[in-house]
Structure 1
Amino acid sequence: MEDLSHLFRLAADHAAGYRRSLPDRPVAVPVDQDALDTAFSGPLPSAPSPPEQVLADLIGAAEPGLVASAGPRYFGFVAGGATPAATAADMLATAWDQFATTAVSSPAAIAAETAAGAWLKELLGIPPSASTGFVTGCQAANTVGLAAARHQVLADAGWDVERRGLHAAPAVRVVAGEERHATIDRSLRLLGFGSDVVEPVAARPDGAMDPGSLREVLRAGSPGPLIVCLQAGNVNTGACDPLREAADLAHRHGGWVHVDGAFGLWAAAAPATRHLVDGVDLADSWACDGHKWLNVPYDSAFAFCAHPAAHAAAMSYTAAYLAGSGGTPAGAALTPESSRRARGFAVWAALRELGRDGVTALVDRCCALARRFATGLSAAGFEIANEVVLNQVLVGFGDDTRTDHVVRAVQADGTCWTGATTWRGRRYMRISVSNATTTEADVDRSVTAITRLAG
């Protein structure tokens, strides 16, 4: 093979330069989408191109359309950055080009997932005996958890859903909070239940599930297969469902408890916020993102299951040509993908780089910076619509039209980037602090810019 050192060095040098620029570059700038499309399009070349030229063309075409979402002043979509070690490990994962299907296809990839999975369970308060699947995001993680739930509750009713499907299967009740994340509904669609199956549970004023309403919903339904979906970290307010009380109620009715903890599950990693997810260990399955608060590169998430046999039954398959299948469930046996990249290397590297104390400090610091946002914007005369319990802040600027105008102005300005949301019938700016490199100065600079633009 040709010597790739020069090409890879060019890519690494550009990547390092881009990362160095993040603290100072505009988070986003108005984009000429037609020009961007033109830069990438054109006829497919008939002849090969030198790799160095291809890399230069890619950089030139992409740069005008990049969003500094890995930087310290990006506060949209609950997006984290990527730690140095995790980024470098992900670069190696790409160069190593492992397909993490089984321990035969890549022994190192599966070993990294096994070790990182054990560390994750320890940090998140999940029983060490739970199985762990490394997936793309919480859409996939929720789907895996609910697939395991579907398997188990129907198996308990004497039905083999993997073999017989859902036609003529016993009806499954799915109970979930009215403020659940939209990925729960899509998972139910993908699994053949349909979104209409959901029996909604009313929320408290903070957006967390109301346990009294849960009690009534469970009592009103007929006995039979039951799945209850709980949430750690409301996507608007950060509030967590009362996991201990809700799990106890669900189990008394014979239900499977799934927790969507995309970002909120990380509250368990810090003593100051651990009480918010008290009882998390009582659940049967959990979903959590790595590319949010753990600050590993996209895409990275985890599906945990307290019942490994149900997890494997829902996800695994065997084939005569698939060396390594049928053994101890790992890799593709715990995820929806067969051809899957080795995500475990970056997760392992991030956890080694941060350590337990570093993860705790990351969670604590983001929560403190979210409170700093709320204090600064409240002092400027704007409405803070939620109690800031984690890293989420909702800000109102008067009427809905003005709030949307301010959000658009902030996005166009480039000092920082925030999103917008509708909560309780009102439009709000939604600020999510999840990046390990965000500082108090970044928050203060952003508060100044938002105040200026709102004026």
Structure 2
Amino acid sequence: MNELELLQQADQFARAYTALTEYRPSYPSEESIRDLDRLNEQLTQTGHSALSTLELMNTVAGSATVASNGPRYFGFVLGASLPVAAAADRLALAWDQCASSADSAPGVHALETQAAKWVLEILKLPEQSAVAFGTSATACGLSCIAAARAELLARIGWNYVEEGLVGAPDIRVVVSDVAHVTIKKALQILGFGWNNVIKAKTDEFGRIVPESLPDLDDQTILILQAGEVNTGEFDPFDPLIRMAHDAGAWVHVDGAFGLWARSTSRLSHLTNGIDAADSWTTDGHKWLNTPYDSAMAICRDPQALARVMNSDAVYSSASADSQKNLTLEFSRKARGVTVWAALRTLGRDGVARMVEQHHVQARFVAERLTAAGFEVLNRVVLNQVLVRGFDDVATQRIVAAVQASGRVWFGATVWKARPAFRISLSSFRTKERHILELIDILEAIGPRG
């Protein structure tokens, strides 16, 4: 089988898989998971045929996939892949570019440059900002926090790039006491130490209380949230950012999904004042519904990001706006291409409709579950519905019953030290019939589990 025939076979498998998206169980069966033992093979001396390798992948691993690209998956704010974004990803894969700079991939560089302009436009962020297309909110958050530390040190005369942290002045970090785990991970990688990070108090909705904000100074990084992962709430940006900048602090906003509220006039009020921050992160594979992995680090001062991300070498120098000089990766996939394809195809109205649709769906789910006797714990300001059953044991039984059904999927969480479950609406595939099916399943289980 030659190369083109093999690619055609892979495409046939992919087409068949996609055709069943509407009907695929939300989570693989126990039998499919047990069958994964077939992949536990010895590495052979001579190898297998390419076709048999592809067939094994399709039949065994393909049967054990989670249907996060489907309409009945409500876990972890995972958007499905828009057809045009998935198609663009396949085309870019065929190109197989090292998307580091205009020199190594001029076509991709042009696409990502345009995508960056559109991202800033639709999110209404400062047009001079740098947009780095990275793998995830973790990697992009790490980049922005590293840039923040280097910039604050530079302002007081310390060259972080040349001198590192040995003997450097201390930089403090203040986060929400319900900060997302990706922020914690980025901070631990950067060596801040979670016990050294200052946690700001939040209200009953998970928003930082301005009156309780710890003291800030010009050696502080304040990290805020646009879309708390459980409640979907937003920190009060106007007063918090003003307080931070008055003290000379750097403000970073973790907006993995919540930042997309700025794309619609109906919900943009949730982000009032957010454009005054110094850096932001958001995901494409969440609300823009691009394939994994697609995220963005956005920095008001491009030089602050380039200072710590630059990877020019004697054999590979490039412009400051080259993605290799803005992201963690030197050799990188063309991640911004799917963002370009999604934005060009959807336009402003298409993105806004998708965000608004999920907000409406979330409010409908919350209303119906409340009427059925469940306890909805949040105000449903965006796309998250945070729920409990009759008591903690019932809540755990409900989650187990839903996941065992295979018909829909959402995950458990903990809110205010008690079990809960979280229903996330973020897939363009999720229609009214899928919402009604979710509600029917939960009503049949009942709040007592």
Q: Is the shorter-chain TM-score for this pair beyond 0.5, marking a shared fold?
A: yes
Alpha-carbon distance, 1:130 to partner: 0.1
Q: Residue 382 of structure 2 corresponds to which residue in structure 1?
A: 390
- Give the alignment partner of residue 359 of structure 2, picking from 367, 392, 396: 367
| 1:443 aligned counterpart, secondary structure | helix
Letter in 1 for 2:54: L
SS in 2 for 1:101: coil
Tell me what 1:130 maps to.
Answer: 129
Contact map agreement 1:166 1:192 (CA 8 A) in 2: no
Counterpart of 2:440 (choices 435, 448, 453) is: 448
Q: Is 1:352 the counterpart of 2:351 in the alignment? A: no
Aligned to 1:38: 37
Deviation per CA, 1:306-329: give whole Å up to 9, x if none. 01111100111221122xx24233
Q: 1:14-73 CA deviation, whole Å, 9 max, x = no partner? A: 212212211122111333587344221211132243322221111012133111010011
2:415 matches 1:423: yes
Give the TM-score normalised by structure 2: 0.97
Aligned residue pair count: 447
Partner residue in 2 for 1:243: 237
Tell me, yes or no, if the aligned pair for 1:116 and 1:348 is still in contact at 8 Å.
yes
Deviation by residue 1:284-324 (Cα, 9 ceiling, x = unmatched): 000000000000000000000001111100111221122xx
Of residues 406, 425, 428 in structure 2, which corresponds to 1:433?
425
Alignment deviations for residues 229-254 of structure 1 (CA, whole Å, 9 cap, x no partner): 01100000000001121111100000
Task: Report the residue type matching 2:109 in the other structure.
Answer: I
Q: Pick from 311, 314, 318 the counterpart of residue 308 of structure 2.
A: 314
CA distance, structure 2, for counterparts of residue 439 and residue 327 of structure 1: 44
Equivalent in the alignment of 1:113: 112
Question: Whole-Å Cα distance in 1 between the matches of residues 103 and 397 of structure 2?
Answer: 55
TM-score (norm 1): 0.95
- My pick for the range that moved more, 197-206 or 256-265, is 197-206
Asked whether the equivalents of residues 376 and 444 of structure 1 are also in contact (C-alpha less than 8 Å), the reply is: no
Instruction: Report 1:279-298 matches (<5 A).
Output: 279-298=273-292
Residues 172 and 226 of structure 1 are in contact (CA less than 8 Å); yes or no, is this contact kept in structure 2?
Answer: yes
Q: Which residues in structure 2 correspond to 1:14-25 (within 5 Å)? A: 14-25=13-24
Amino acid at match of 1:386: N
Paired residue for 1:82?
A: 81
Give the corresponding residue for 1:6: 5
For 1:229, what is the secondary structure of its paired residue?
Answer: strand
Task: Select the residue among 388, 405, 424 that pairs with 1:413.
Answer: 405
Q: State the 1:4 CA deviation.
A: 3.1
Match for residue 377 of structure 1 among 369, 379, 387: 369
- 1:178 equivalent in structure 2: 177
C-alpha spacing 1:252/1:193, structure 2 compared with 1 (3 Å): same
Instruction: Give per-residue Cα distances to partners, 1:171-225, cap 9 Å, x unaligned.
Output: 11211111111111211111122222321111111111111112xx12xx6x441
Q: Does 1:228 align with 2:222?
A: yes
Could you give the per-residue CA deviations for residues 409-454 of structure 1, whole angstroms, max 9, x where no partner exists?
Answer: 1111011100111011121110000001101110010111122234
Q: Distance in 2 between matches of 1:194 and 1:107?
A: 41
Structure 1, unmatched stretches of 5+, are: none
Q: Residue 93 of structure 1 aligns with which residue? A: 92
Could you tell me which of 311, 326, 343 is aligned with 1:334? 326
Contact 1:410 1:417 in 2 (8 A): yes
Q: Is the 8 A contact 1:101 1:338 kept in 2?
A: yes
For 1:75, what is the secondary structure of its paired residue? Answer: coil
Q: Is the 8 A contact 2:220 2:249 kept in 1?
A: yes
AA matched with 1:334? L
Partners of 1:32 and 1:305 in 2: CA distance = 47
Residues 125 and 280, structure 1, Cα contact 8 Å, conserved in 2: no
Task: Report the 3-state secondary structure (helix = DSSP H, G, I; strand = E; otherwise coil) of the residue aligned with 1:268.
Answer: helix
Letter in 1 for 2:301: H
Aligned AA for 2:208?
M
Distance 2:206 2:150 in 1: 30
Report the counterpart of residue 278 of structure 1 in structure 2: 272
Does the 8 Å contact 1:316/1:329 carry over to 2? no
Distance in 2 (CA, whole Å) between partners of 1:327 and 1:299 is 25
- d(CA) in 2 for partners of 1:333, 1:292: 25
Whichever residue aligns with residue 409 of structure 1, its letter is A
Aligned counterparts of 2:33 and 2:78: Cα–Cα separation in 1? 27
Q: Distance in 2 between matches of 1:154 and 1:238?
A: 33
- Who is 2:394 aligned against? 402
2:445 & 2:44 partners in 1: Cα distance? 46
For the 8 Å contact 1:27–1:74, the answer to whether it is kept is: yes
SS of residue in 1 equivalent to 2:319: coil
Distance in structure 2 (CA, Å) of the matches to 1:102 and 1:110? 6
Native 8 Å contact 2:133 2:294 kept in 1 = yes
- What residue is the counterpart of 2:159 in the other structure? 160
User: Partner letter of residue 317 of structure 1?
Assistant: S
Letter in 2 for 1:367: H
